[in-house]
């Protein structure tokens, strides 16, 4: 073979190899979904936090619960428990576990057995028992469970046999099953915990997670990305996507840029809705969420320990302007913490009045005729209940200037922001709450109860015994009309005491490429990629055209 022949042969060999590599890349792309997320998780165990950023990245991707919600009617359905039974007095609930559930096999753990009752005992006793060897591993804080007073509710958890577990309650609680279906009630591996104990690496249970969910953790680069691989031995049908990547991009414009450049398939909390709608290859979707965005006070710090000052601030805020400017028509004005779609919503709750004269008079009565200076903490990330907290803070700054209150806007990195809020270092803050399940108690207890003020999820640190008594009574009665009455009285107390000012109940938005199929967002709880798939190029060819799409546009998509 002469030199020219050898060169030609080598050249065509290179073309073949290159073609194979391109096919591999295309194949990997078709088997993967990239999600542009707005922030990093605080942990990989949702039992330890209440932040939506962490829940999105962990709960439905890595874990399962005993029971779950399904469908538009939010029906409680079996999950790891194939069935359950509640005694007539509501104090004994027995769960019958599935016998075919496999934990994740990863680079750092290989399970030797299937899920059984020991895993359920471990998962909940870790939370309940202060002497449990894993209780204090990550600080001993389990805010969701502490908020709902889980420890005082559970008398004991009994192992009947390897696949039967019975919860004994100290009292009737209408939200018990709802709370077990919430994103925080995940089941961990007791065997993995035993292995970590042997090598003195107990903290890995929350940073190098093992669950039973549809995906398993492959890689985490702090502040950059999370890489999940499909759990092929999942007890349900395996996820359709082999790889799920969370591209952590805190900048709103950064996520939009990556979406437009096809660097991510799905984007959280998109901005520039009109621009997204202009692109025929993108879909902007929304869902009416159970949430509330609010402006709140640290009621333990002067001058906000004075109810007159809190009432004055409430009168000085023009919520209509906030709604129009920040939410741009994509939210409802909030007159209470409870969304209008909740069965416990009270239509008699009056809308907040905007009245600068009343505000000034109240400040004078409170001893601040010349006003004062205050810090307002604005969260740095976009959330469904507040799409732009920094801009909202600026509008509030302008409102309060009219009553001689000078506002200094403060912000921190997201995890730092949440941590310092829980420590009570703030005066006032902008935040919100997204429901974990549809029962109204999920707003009243974790947001404003005395127990939640101790755990840090009630960042107002407001504690009202009469309010607590009302929500406890609501949990104990099966009469829905009585429950509504109790919640109505609780809302009236909030309105009078003003620990926080509800601003809006918003929709949750998401943008995706049109080749991504399946539901991701839900009215409450975190996102899920379990049933998501991606169209192949051949499948895109047969997609029906929109009325405004031409044959030329369709050809471009294929090419």
Would you state the pLDDT for residue 550?
A: 34
CA distance 80 to 64: 7
Higher pLDDT, 453 or 372: 372
pLDDT at site 14: 38
Per-residue confidence at 453, pLDDT binned at 50, 70, 90?
Answer: confident
| DSSP bridge pairs for 508 | 287
From CA 61, how far away is CA 528, in angstroms rounded? 6
Would you list the DSSP string of 312-371?
HHHHH--HHHHIIIIITTSEEE-SSSS-TTSTT--TTSPPPP--HHHHHHHHHHHT-TT-
pLDDT of residue 28: 65
Query: What's the pLDDT at 8?
Result: 38
Average pLDDT, the chain: 89
Compute the chain's Rg from CA coordinates: 26
pLDDT at 558 over 80: no
- Quick one: average pLDDT of 174-180? 94
What is the pLDDT confidence band of residue 379, given thresholds at 50, 70 and 90?
Answer: very high
Q: Which residue has the tokens 């204090």?
A: 136
| Euclidean distance between CA atoms 489 and 471, whole angstroms | 9
CB 227 within 8 A of CB 37: no
Q: Do domains 41-212 and 291-507 have the same CATH topology?
A: no
Mean per-residue pLDDT, 320-344: 91
User: pLDDT tens digits for 454-486?
Assistant: 877 899 999 999 999 999 999 888 888 999 999
Mean pLDDT of 438-446: 91
CA dihedral 200, 206, 209, 210 (to 10 degrees): 70
Overall average pLDDT of the 111-128 stretch: 98
The rounded distance, in Å, linking the Cα atoms of 498 and 501 is 6
User: pLDDT band for position 552 (50/70/90)?
Assistant: very low
List, for residues 70-109, the tens digit of each pLDDT value.
Answer: 877 788 999 999 999 999 999 999 999 999 999 999 999 9
Specify the pLDDT at position 27. Answer: 62
Reported as a pLDDT band with limits 50, 70 and 90, residue 51 is: confident
Mean pLDDT value across residues 184-210: 98
**Per-residue model confidence (pLDDT) at position 362:** 98
Superfamily of chain region 41-212: Dipeptide-binding Protein; Domain 1 (3.90.76.10)
Q: Is the pLDDT of residue 366 over 90?
A: yes
Is the confidence at residue 313, as pLDDT, over 90? yes
Query: HEC profile for 139-152?
Result: CCCCHHHHHCCHHH
317 pLDDT above the threshold of 90: yes
Q: Point out which residues pair with 520 in neighbouring strands.
A: none
Measured on CA atoms in the order 217, 218, 220, 226, is the torsion positive or negative?
A: negative
Domain ranges of the chain: 41-212, 291-507
Q: Supply the pLDDT for residue 539.
A: 53
pLDDT interval class at 21 (50, 70, 90): very low
State pLDDT tens for residues 515-551.
999 999 988 889 999 999 998 755 554 444 443 433 3
Tell me the mean pLDDT in the region 490-505. Answer: 96
Whole-model pTM: value is: 0.77
Would you identify the CATH topology of the domain 291-507?
Dipeptide-binding Protein; domain 3 (3.10.105)
Q: What is the mean pLDDT of residues 390-409?
A: 97
CA 419 to centroid of chain Cα atoms: 17
Residue 43 pLDDT greater than 90, yes or no = yes
């Amino acid at each position: 073979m002469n030199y020219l022949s050898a060169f030609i042969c080598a050249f065509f060999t290179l073309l073949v190899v290159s073609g194979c590599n391109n096919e591999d890349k295309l194949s990997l792309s078709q088997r993967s979904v990239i999600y542009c997320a707005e922030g990093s998780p605080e942990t990989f165990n949702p039992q330890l936090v209440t932040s939506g950023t962490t829940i999105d990245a962990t709960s439905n991707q890595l874990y399962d619960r005993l029971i779950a919600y399904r469908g538009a009617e939010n029906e409680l359905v079996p999950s790891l428990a194939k069935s359950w039974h509640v005694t007539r007095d509501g104090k004994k609930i027995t769960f019958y576990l599935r016998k075919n559930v496999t934990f994740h096999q990863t680079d750092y753990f290989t399970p030797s057995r299937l899920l059984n009752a020991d895993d359920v005992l471990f998962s909940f006793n870790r939370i309940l028992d202060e002497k449990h060897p894993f209780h204090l591993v990550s600080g001993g804080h389990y805010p969701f469970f502490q908020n709902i007073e889980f420890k005082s509710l559970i008398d004991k958890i009994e192992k009947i046999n390897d696949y039967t577990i019975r919860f004994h309650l100290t009292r009737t609680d209408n939200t018990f099953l709802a709370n077990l279906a919430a994103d925080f009630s995940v089941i961990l591996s007791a065997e993995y915990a035993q292995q970590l104990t042997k090598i003195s690496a107990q903290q890995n249970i929350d940073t190098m997670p093992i669950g039973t969910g549809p995906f398993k953790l492959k890689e985490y680069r702090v502040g950059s990305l999370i890489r999940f691989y499909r759990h092929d031995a999942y007890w349900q049908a395996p996820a359709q996507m082999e790889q799920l990547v969370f591209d952590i991009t805190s900048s709103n414009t950064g996520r939009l840029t990556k979406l437009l450049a096809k660097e991510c398939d799905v984007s959280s909390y998109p901005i520039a809705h009109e621009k997204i709608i202009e692109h025929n290859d993108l879909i902007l979707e929304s869902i009416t969420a159970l949430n509330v965005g609010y402006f709140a006070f640290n009621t333990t710090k002067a001058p906000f320990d004075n109810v007159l000052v809190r009432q004055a601030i409430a009168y000085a805020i023009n919520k209509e302007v906030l709604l129009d400017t920040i939410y741009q028509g994509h939210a409802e004005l909030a007159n209470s913490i409870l969304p209008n779609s909740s069965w416990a919503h009270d239509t008699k709750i009056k809308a907040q009045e905007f009245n600068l004269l009343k505000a000034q008079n109240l400040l004078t009565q409170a001893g601040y005729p010349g006003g004062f200076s205050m810090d307002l903490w604005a969260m740095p990330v976009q959330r469904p209940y507040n799409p732009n907290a920094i801009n909202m803070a600026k509008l509030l700054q302008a409102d309060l200037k009219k009553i001689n209150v000078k506002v200094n806007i403060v912000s921190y990195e997201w995890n730092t922001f949440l941590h310092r809020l829980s420590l009570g270092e703030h005066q006032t803050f902008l935040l919100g709450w997204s429901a974990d399940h549809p029962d109204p108690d999920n707003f009243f207890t974790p947001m404003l109860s005395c127990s939640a003020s101790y755990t840090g999820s009630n960042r107002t640190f407001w504690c009202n015994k009469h309010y607590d008594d009302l929500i406890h009574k609501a949990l104990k009665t099966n009469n829905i009309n009585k429950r509504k009455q109790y919640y109505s009285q609780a809302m009236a107390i909030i309105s009078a005491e003003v620990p926080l000012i509800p601003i809006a109940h918003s929709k949750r938005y998401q943008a995706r490429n049109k080749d991504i199929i399946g539901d991701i967002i839900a009215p409450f709880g975190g996102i899920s990629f379990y049933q998501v798939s991606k169209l192949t190029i051949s499948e895109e060819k047969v997609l029906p055209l929109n009325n405004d799409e031409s044959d030329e546009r369709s050809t471009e998509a294929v090419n």
